[in-house]
A and B are shown apart, each in its own frame.
Chain A
Amino acid sequence: MYKGLIKGLSVIIGVVFLSFGALAQEGHPLKGSWIGEWSGNTTHGDFVLIVMDWNGEEVTGMINPGTDNMEIESVELDPTDWSVVISADGYTIDAMIENLELPSRALSGSWRSSNGRGDFEIVRQ
């Protein structure tokens, strides 16, 4: 019941975010709020929100802030091919930045943890 409520609220928040255009972001390409899916995730649901920031030395952030509050432990960005590896709370996300110069750029790839694996795609808001 409680989990269902949280999930419902997350979806509503996501829909509200998605109803607005992405804010321009011409600085570090990972900075911002991202919304999308990690499909097949039976622990936290398919829907995922990620907030990331750049402090000049490292990318910090949180997965599902306000609900699951999974702090991002590390983000490795390889600017030679714009590949990204995100580690947080037992999850590893391997993704590529797509449409780099668009405010609504995407991170697309896969996720894995001890509980499963699946496709991953989030879009910057």
Chain B
Amino acid sequence: MKRLSGIKIISTAIGIMITSLASAHHPIHGKFDPAEAMQLSGIVTKVDWRSPHVHIFLNVTNNNQPVNWAIELENPSILVDNGWKEDSLEPGAAIIVAGMRARDGSRQIWGDSVTLSDSGRQVYSVSSKAPAKPLTGRPVPRWPSDNKPALGAGPGGIGGIWSYPSEKALVEDGVNISMNEYGLLDNIDDAARVAPMQDWALARYVHRQQRQLQDDPTYLNCKPPGGPRQYQSDLGLQLIEDKKNERIFVLLGSGNRNYRLIYLDGRDPSGQVGGDDDNPLYYGRSTGNWEGDTLVVNTTGFNEDFWFTNGGLPHTNRLSMVEKFTRTDFDTLHYEVTIDDPGAYTRPWTASWELSWLGGKELPFSLCQHNRQ
């Protein structure tokens, strides 16, 4: 931990505790080091309210000289969802910020908490809990043409997105493991229980965990959140059903506003069809069909250029996935994925979680701008 006069630096233990209160799900550990917890007291000089991340500029007095620090916060849309506005904090305000310092040693920290010095009131705080759902489950909207469940707003419905995943990283169903919102294990000894990994894959997963996820290519190189990771982003996603052309667009709120296509027209799940060139890439090649009220999607053709989950579980180009999407009520989407990757795992395994419907909300405008390498 750095020692800087005039700047309060709190213990790592307290920092980790505060971190657990935050709800950022971006791969920020590539830029900020959770082992470098620190606290700053100063005067706000500017609030830069823009995507992908809001910044507070703060003058901190150090040896009787003002030193300017940058405090990085969540995406504006997430802050808005939590009731905050650009002018919720104004220049001149005295604040205390707790967070983690940038790995490159520059005067930047990730703000886990921002507190007004005079009143002790928190600003720009974010909750990871989904909004409360109606006590009585609302019925699933259906398409009149085929009576299939609508995966989005449905006919005549208002728009919305799926967000607030109940799990933040892939873990085999039935395994109870404690980790933070970035997929960082609380206890590295739990690594082998996360999934049935081959020896090399387990060693690589442990290595990534021990490096606090700083090598995450989604941050370092703005790589898309391919595989199941796209359903564990706090920026949400939309499922747009193109009934006429028998396909579904998965529009992602994160990862440079990428999209993924799921074909329902019975085409071959491998190879090139009709000139499309979407494999082998970050989202693979997906074909699906309805089994009752569940959309079952098979995907192959992944490259190996990305992490397919928060937390850094490895995969190879032998990965194939079977995903099951079931809208259990109007406000809930149950997502289940079976991972079959004989290049990295000893057997197929399954993970599942739920996403919540945020009616009337559009995908936030978020573009990855890190691209440091």
Name B314's contact: one of A23, A26, A56, A82 (CB within 8 Å): A26
**B108-132: which residues lie under 8 A (CB-CB) from chain A?**
none
Chain A CB within 8 A of B215 CB? yes
Q: Which residue on chain B has the smallest CB distance to residue A21? A: B373
Contact: A26 with B200, CB < 8 Å? no
Q: Which residue on chain B has the smallest CB distance to residue A25? A: B304
Contact: A80 with B203, CB < 8 Å? yes
Contact: B343 with A56, CB < 8 Å? yes
Residues on the A chain within 8 Å of B328, using CB: none
Annotate B193-220 by CB proximity to A: 1 below 8 A, 0 otherwise: 0000011101110011001000101000
Contact: A100 with B207, CB < 8 Å? yes
Given contacts A56-B316, A79-B200, contact A27 B207 (CB under 8 A): no
Annotate B176-208 by CB proximity to A: 1 below 8 A, 0 otherwise: 000000000000000000000011101110011
Name A28's contact: one of B217, B307, B343 (CB within 8 Å): B343
CB distance from A44 to the nearest CB of B (A): 29
CB distance from B220 to the nearest CB of A (A): 9
**B301-347: which residues lie under 8 A (CB-CB) from chain A?**
304-307, 314-318, 342-344
Residues on the B chain within 8 Å of A54, using CB: 316, 343
Residues on the A chain within 8 Å of B317, using CB: 27
Given contacts A56-B343, A79-B203, A100-B207, contact A24 B223 (CB under 8 A): yes
**Interface footprint category on B:** 20 to 34
CB distance from B227 to the nearest CB of A (A): 11
Contact: A101 with B215, CB < 8 Å? yes
Q: Measured between alpha carbons, how far is A24 from B226 in the docked complex, in Å?
A: 14
Residues on the B chain within 8 Å of A61, using CB: none
**B266-304: which residues lie under 8 A (CB-CB) from chain A?**
304
Contact: A79 with B199, CB < 8 Å? yes
Contact: A24 with B315, CB < 8 Å? no
Contact: A27 with B342, CB < 8 Å? no
- A23, A31, A56, A80: residue with the most chain B Cβ atoms closer than 10 Å: A56
Chain B CB within 8 A of A77 CB? yes
Contact: B305 with A26, CB < 8 Å? yes
Name A101's contact: one of B202, B211, B306, B344 (CB within 8 Å): B211
Q: Measured between alpha carbons, how far is A82 from B314 in the docked complex, in Å?
A: 16
Q: Which residue on chain B has the smallest CB distance to residue A77? A: B200
Contact: B207 with A28, CB < 8 Å? no
Chain B CB within 8 A of A42 CB? no
Name B207's contact: one of A23, A31, A101 (CB within 8 Å): A101
CB distance from B24 to the nearest CB of A (A): 22
Annotate A1-37 by CB proximity to B: 1 below 8 A, 0 otherwise: 0000000000000000000000111111101000000
Contact: A28 with B306, CB < 8 Å? no
Q: Measured between alpha carbons, how far is A100 from B316 in the docked complex, in Å?
A: 16
Contact: A26 with B307, CB < 8 Å? yes
Q: Measured between alpha carbons, how far is A81 from B343 in the docked complex, in Å?
A: 20
Contact: A26 with B304, CB < 8 Å? yes
Residues on the B chain within 8 Å of A31, using CB: 304, 316
- B202, B315, B318, B343: residue with the most chain A Cβ atoms closer than 10 Å: B343
Name B315's contact: one of A23, A27, A80, A101 (CB within 8 Å): A27
Name A56's contact: one of B215, B221, B305, B318 (CB within 8 Å): B318
Residues on the A chain within 8 Å of B215, using CB: 101
Q: Measured between alpha carbons, how far is A66 from B315 in the docked complex, in Å?
A: 30
Q: Which residue on chain A has the smallest CB distance to residue B318? A: A56
Contact: A24 with B221, CB < 8 Å? yes
Residues on the B chain within 8 Å of A23, using CB: 305
Residues on the A chain within 8 Å of B211, using CB: 101
Q: Measured between alpha carbons, how far is A31 from B201 in the docked complex, in Å?
A: 13
Q: Which residue on chain B has the smallest CB distance to residue A24? A: B305
Contact: B306 with A26, CB < 8 Å? yes
Q: Measured between alpha carbons, how far is A79 from B198 in the docked complex, in Å?
A: 10
Residues of chain B touching chain A, judged by Cβ–Cβ distance below 8 Å, are 198-200, 202-204, 207-208, 211, 215, 217, 221, 223, 304-307, 314-318, 342-344
Instruction: Report the 10 A-B pairs with minimum CB-CB distance, sorted nearest first.
Output: A79-B203, A27-B304, A101-B215, A24-B305, A27-B316, A56-B342, A56-B343, A79-B200, A79-B199, A26-B304
| Seed contacts A56-B198, A56-B343, A79-B202; 10 additional CB < 8 Å A-B pairs | A24-B217, A25-B304, A26-B307, A27-B317, A27-B343, A27-B344, A31-B316, A56-B318, A79-B200, A79-B203
Task: List 9 A-B pairs, Cβ < 8 Å.
Answer: A24-B217, A26-B305, A26-B314, A28-B314, A28-B344, A29-B204, A31-B304, A54-B343, A101-B208
